[in-house]
Amino acid sequence: MTFEDRSEMRKLIVVGAAAALTLAACSQGENGEARNNDATDQAPSGSVIDTVATVSPDIANDARALEPYGEGQWLIGQYAERGGYNKGAVYVMDAAGVTKQLTTGYSPGSFAVSGQDIYVTVPNQQTVNRMDIETGALTQVLPAPAGDSASGGKLKAGSGCPDSVSAADVRFNWPWGLAIDDDILYIADVNNNCVRRVDLSAEEPVVERVAGLASGAGGFNGEGQAPNQTQLHAPGGLDVDRQGDLFIADTLNQVVWELDVKAKRSGIDIVAGVPKQAGYNGDDRPATQAQLNYPWGVDIDRANVLFIADQRNNRVRVVNNKTILTLAGNGTQGNTGDGGPAIDAELAGPWDVANDDYQNPRFPGALYVSDSANHSVRVVTDRDAIAGG
What pLDDT, on a 0 to 100 scale, did the predictor assign at position 77? 83
Eight-class DSSP state of 125: G
Name the nearest CA neighbour of 374 among 62, 34, 1.
Answer: 62
Cα separation, 49 vs 109, in Å, equals 26
Domain count across the chain: 1
Sign of the torsion formed by the C-alpha atoms of 50, 55, 60 and 65:
negative
- Report which residue type is found at 101: Q
What pLDDT, on a 0 to 100 scale, did the predictor assign at position 381? 74
Check: CB of residue 284 under 8 Å from CB of residue 321: no
Cα separation, 228 vs 264, in Å, equals 11
CB under 8 Å to 147, separation ≥6 — which residues?
A: none
Per-run averaged pLDDT (10 residues), the chain, 389 residues: 38 29 22 26 33 44 72 75 62 75 81 91 94 90 69 77 95 97 96 98 96 98 93 98 95 97 73 99 98 98 94 97 95 86 90 78 75 82 45
- Report which residue type is found at 305: V
Q: In sequence order, what DSSP letters do the residues of 300-356 get, joined into one string?
A: E-TT--EEEEEGGGTEEEEEETTEEEEEE--S-BSS--TTS-GGGS-BS-EEEEEE-
Q: Residue 264: how many CA atoms within 13 Å on its side-chain side?
A: 0
CATH at residue 97: 2.120.10.30
What pLDDT, on a 0 to 100 scale, did the predictor assign at position 107? 85
What pLDDT, on a 0 to 100 scale, did the predictor assign at position 147? 43
What pLDDT, on a 0 to 100 scale, did the predictor assign at position 44? 21
Q: Residue 338: how many CA atoms within 13 Å on its side-chain side?
A: 16
What pLDDT, on a 0 to 100 scale, did the predictor assign at position 93? 78
Cα separation, 342 vs 7, in Å, equals 7
What pLDDT, on a 0 to 100 scale, did the predictor assign at position 333? 97
What pLDDT, on a 0 to 100 scale, did the predictor assign at position 377? 80
What pLDDT, on a 0 to 100 scale, did the predictor assign at position 261? 79
What pLDDT, on a 0 to 100 scale, did the predictor assign at position 80? 62
Check: CB of residue 143 under 8 Å from CB of residue 152: yes
- Backbone φ and ψ of 375, nearest 5°: 55, 40
Cα separation, 332 vs 278, in Å, equals 16
- Backbone φ and ψ of 191, nearest 5°: -80, -10
What pLDDT, on a 0 to 100 scale, did the predictor assign at position 105? 77
* Confidence (pTM): 0.84
Check: CB of residue 245 under 8 Å from CB of residue 258: yes
Name the nearest CA neighbour of 275 among 242, 296, 253, 245.
Answer: 253
Check: CB of residue 79 under 8 Å from CB of residue 108: yes
What pLDDT, on a 0 to 100 scale, did the predictor assign at position 24? 21
**Domain enclosing residue 93, as ranges:** 3-386
- Report which residue type is found at 229: Q
What pLDDT, on a 0 to 100 scale, did the predictor assign at position 47? 41
Helix (H, G, I), strand (E, B) or coil at 48: coil
